[in-house]
Amino acid sequence: MSEQTQVIFTGGLFLLTYAMIIAEKIHRTVVALAGALIVILAGVISQEKAIEAIDFNTIGLLIGMMIIVGITRHTGVFEYMAVMAARKSRGEPLTIMLSLSVITAVASAFLDNVTTVLLVVPVTFAIAERLKVNVVPMLIAEVVASNIGGTATLIGDPPNIMIGSATGLGFMDFVINLTPVIVVVLIATLAWLRVLYRKTLITTPDLKAEIMAMEPEKQIKDGPLLKKCLMVIGITILGFVLHQYLHLESATVALGGAILLLLLTREEPEHALHAVEWPVIFFFAGLFMIVGALEEVGIIEAVARKSLELTGGEIRSTGLLILWLSAIASAFVDNIPFVATMIPLIQDMGRLGGITDLNPLWWSLSLGACLGGNGTLIGASANVVVAGMAEKRGILITFIHFTKVAFPMMIMSIIICTGYLLLFFL
């Protein structure tokens, strides 16, 4: 296969893979692995180089956190927090929606977004049923909050994990640079939701009294296990805060926390590994191999050159282009393959354009890709998962309805981020 043929073949295969991931006719993990296999069989990239292209720091971090969360969910602590929030809100549906959204946002900063909504949503259904209110506003609020909260830290959202792993940016770098704007975005979004649903979420005093009668303590299923889990989560978060100073990769911290929890709880490894979403792990592996093939044939470098021609290599226009392109693209396609492609692209833009400090571009990519997922129902994995959970209960959240509510909020969040980036970084 000639060099030019390899470029055309690899580029065409990447676009086909992307289109099939968006179409969701075949599971995205199967599509990614099939694409990776084809580039190896076609001789575009050797098996050794394909395996080298896999970012095992990202993989290790995801596996470690999934094990910790998988064990912790048996304690009932998340149900406890949700019921406590409902009681503190005095059974007011609108206040409950805002309280659960805040809990979801904070939890999503330290847990995977999908895991967070899987834990919070079932309790939301139960509370909405008792109050006899429409659950859809609450679900949309929680999904939007999960994507916002996940943007604040290194471990909150897969795009951030990927960016941190590729660049060496640490947990505190993300907290210091992204958390301030995320707090502003969350407050603005909650204010928007409050205005939007103030006349929708109304119930009776009797039904409020039922919520006040719920006992949070009864949600805790295993007290001793909870103490061990909270201790290990605390140690793990401390590890993330200090990992740069200790010269440890974030994957080492996460896997270390998972191993410590397994030792303390004597949990059977088979049970603990059930909590790992293996399709997600293998999806990442396949994707990294395909992007490795794009780098191998020079497509990433060529696109980087074209982008630099468009912006003139000027940091401000490049940063804003990345922010808005990431946001709009991530609203309609999964942000994980998009970010996997953008990372080497930005690295090449820095090398070719002589940009010494790439950090503003990484913050632009993170904010755009993570917050852009709020734009439509298919923009982020958490959105799709919640829609599926609702459908199982006979509640339909349509693409149009979700987009009508969420897309304007997403645009507002990106406008806020534009101001923030221009003020402090660009």
Q: What is the pLDDT of residues 65-108, one digit of tens each?
A: 888 888 887 888 877 877 787 788 777 888 889 989 999 999 88
Tokens of 168: 């060496």
Most confident listed range (52-56, 209-213, 320-324, 407-411): 407-411
pLDDT at residue 333, rounded to an integer? 67
Q: Which residue has the higher pLDDT, 144 or 133?
A: 144
Handedness of CA 339, 340, 341, 342 (dihedral sign): positive
- Give the containing element (helix H, strand E) for 236: helix 223-242
3-state secondary structure of 25: coil
Percent of the chain with pLDDT over 70: 98
pLDDT of residue 334: 66
What count of other Cβ atoms lies within 10 Å of the Cβ of residue 309?
10
Between the CA of residue 115 and those of 78, 104, 228, 255, 277, what are the distances in Å?
11, 10, 20, 17, 10
Is residue 262 predicted with pLDDT exceeding 90? yes
374-385 per-position pLDDT tens digit: 998 877 778 877
The tokens for 342 are 């953008």
404 or 378, higher pLDDT: 404
Burial of 335 per CB tally in 10 Å (0-12, 13-18, 19+): buried
Mean pLDDT, rounded, for 307-314 = 75
Rounded CA-CA distance 300/332 in Å is 22
Question: 198 in helix, strand or coil?
Answer: coil
CA nearest neighbour of 140 among 402, 320, 341, 334? 402
Decide if 317 contacts 311 (C-beta within 8 A).
yes
Q: Note whether 81 and 103 are within 8 A (CB).
A: yes
Alpha-carbon span 237 to 333, nearest angstrom: 31
- Asked whether the predicted pLDDT for residue 411 surpasses 80, the reply is yes
pLDDT, tens digit, for every residue of 269-281?
888 888 787 887 8
Q: What is the mean pLDDT of residues 201-216?
A: 77
Residue pair 221/75 in contact by the 8 Å Cβ criterion: yes
Give residue 208's pLDDT.
76
Q: Tokens for 27, please give them.
A: 């599971």
Report pTM: 0.77
